[in-house]
Structure 1
Amino acid sequence: MTPSEFIITVVTAGGGAGLVIYKSLKHFASSWLEDKFKSRLQEMVHDQNKEIERLKSDLTRTFDRIARLHQQEFEILPLVWDEVHEAFWRVASLVSAFQSYPDLNAMTSAHLKEFVAQCELDAWQKAELLEADDKSAKFRFFDYWRTASLARRAHLSALNKTSRHAIFLPESLKNEFLRILSNISTALVQHEIYFKHPVRASSQDSTDKIEWMRDAGRKEMNQLEAVIRSRLWSTPIEMDAA
């Protein structure tokens, strides 16, 4: 029996006295319903507040994670760019069509000894250089492989840096770094082969990365620099939108 049915039964059975009881019971029922409503409302508000707090907590964790990732990218991106830039320009200098070397054959004995002493060559290379008939050619040979070795080290360092920190780089930038580094490596290998065996393929050959280093590669490095600068100077929201 519901509260309403109970009240009607009491009033019907009690006559005038039932009217008094009816009013009392009506007030009781009204209070009961009001209390029930308030209790239910409080439960709903409590549940809603719990859900809001859960959502706030989830959002806070998400934003914290995003902020940390962007901070990592902000710190890592310039480091990777610096290494790739160093590798590119070391190899670009090596494969440049314009090379200048001193004429050791025209130097006086005193000048030659002083020059060789200051060269960044190993002791045995300096000894061979002083004894060589064509000192200029010998110097170009030693200097080329010294420069090529430094360029290869710079390339490997850039590749390791990019691979190690790839998880903090946007996929598009990581792929662009790796593509450029691959072209740099190919250009270096091709130039070493051409240095040993001076028979050059046509510069129109699409696989000739030496020509890429001298022209298209420089333009692509400038474009990549602009993209990186844009990311570093953008807000996290703008970066995510991009």
Structure 2
Amino acid sequence: MTDRVFEIFGQLVLAGGGGGLIAYLLTQWLGKKWIENKFAERLEQLKHDQNVVVARLKVEVDSMLSGALKFQERDFTVLPGVWEKLYQATVHIDWLISPIREIADVASMKDSVFIDWVETLEFSAMHKGALLRTTQPEERQKHYEGINYIYQMAKVRKIFGDYQRYVQEHAIFFPLDLKAKLMAIEEALWQQICDRGALEEGKVWGGAVQDLGAAFEKVIPPLRDEIELLIRSRLESHMKAFSEKVSS
């Protein structure tokens, strides 16, 4: 660049230009080049900054989308899971409190049939032995029903406990309205279990069995329907969002 400046300067001198004119022209030429260089440098810097911002935004958007997809994937696992646990709990508790549930007619069994049948039961050896030692039909029936209730209640409590633990373990993933409904039906189901236990222990009388069934039908099915609607709506919303993303 310096050589070019002196070349121009020499041409101006030979052309007879005055010192003031030479100084003016040099200032104009050098200033223009300086501005152009600065503008080019600034333009490159702006392009660089823009690329950096775009890259950062892309990372943030990708991260947000990835997080949203993972959350949706979690919903597609957790929500059907809690519905299955709830269904099992309600079905078994409904059976436990039902006044017309099927119970084996032990009293009418012949001794040989009774002995073979007892061996098929999922009772402990102690309880099987206690049953086999009974001789009177009525005594056998009463004894069997008492032992059978213990096992059925234990099974129902386990299934209900599975539901409780599942809700507690995944509570952070449930929307607040769904979580409130899940907790409400949990309380209602536990009350049914407690009432059935009190009935078995003779702490309630009269039409207690029918009352249990009426209370169940009044509270549990409506809550379960509301929970089903919330779960269905949330899953359908995820499916709609996924379909729109794919189509776009």
TM-score by length of 2: 0.76
Query: Which sits farther off after the overlay, 230-239 or 151-160?
Result: 230-239
Between 1:132-141 and 1:184-193, the stretch displaced more is: 132-141
1:218 to 216, 221, 230: 221
In 1, Cα distance between equivalents of 2:238 and 2:101: 44
Distance 2:150 2:159 in 1: 14
Q: Which residue of 2 aligns with 1:194?
A: 199
- 8 Å contact from structure 1 (residues 87, 154) kept in 2: yes
Amino acid paired to 1:157 = D
Structure 1 window deviating more from structure 2 (81-90 vs 144-153): it is 81-90
CA 1:139 to 1:214, structure 2 compared with 1: closer, same or farther past 3 Å? farther
**Matched residue, 1:67:** 69
Which sections of structure 2, spanning at least 5 residues, go unmatched? 1-15, 243-248
Counterpart Cα distance in 2 of 1:237 and 1:40:
46
User: Does 2:145 align with 1:140?
Assistant: yes
Is residue 91–residue 188 contact of structure 1 (8 Å, CA) maintained in 2?
yes
* CA distance in structure 1 between the partners assigned to 2:73 and 2:240 by the alignment: 13
Amino acid corresponding to residue 80 of structure 1 in structure 2: V
**After TM superposition, where is structure 1 displaced by more than 3 Å over at least 4 residues in a row?**
14-21, 200-203, 208-212, 236-239
Alignment pair present for 1:31 and 2:33:
yes
RMSD over equivalenced CA pairs, Å:
2.9
Structure 1 residues 1-242: aligned runs within 5 Å: 16-130=18-132, 131=134, 133=136, 134=138, 135-197=140-202, 199-200=204-205, 211-235=214-238, 238=241
Contact residue 84 and residue 158 of structure 1 kept, 8 A: yes
Per-residue displacement from partner, 1:173-218 (whole Å, max 9, x unpaired)?
3332232222211210111001211524888xxxx87644334312
Q: By how many angstroms is 1:145 displaced? A: 1.7
In the alignment, the residues of structure 2 paired with residue 43 and residue 22 of structure 1 have an alpha-carbon distance, to the nearest angstrom, of 31
Which ranges in structure 1 are unaligned for 5 or more consecutive residues? 1-13
Q: TM-score, normalized by length of structure 1?
A: 0.78
Q: Determine what percentage of the aligned residue pairs are the same residue.
A: 24
Aligned to 2:4: none
Deviation track 1:209-230 (CA, whole Å, cap 9, x = no partner) reads 7644334312322332233233
TM-aligned CA deviation for residue 153 of structure 1: 0.7
Q: How many residues align?
A: 222
Contact 1:70/1:236 (CA < 8 Å) preserved in 2?
Answer: no
Distance 1:35 1:201 in 2: 100
The one-letter code of the counterpart of 2:149 is Y
In structure 2, distance between residues paired with 1:235 and 1:114? 54
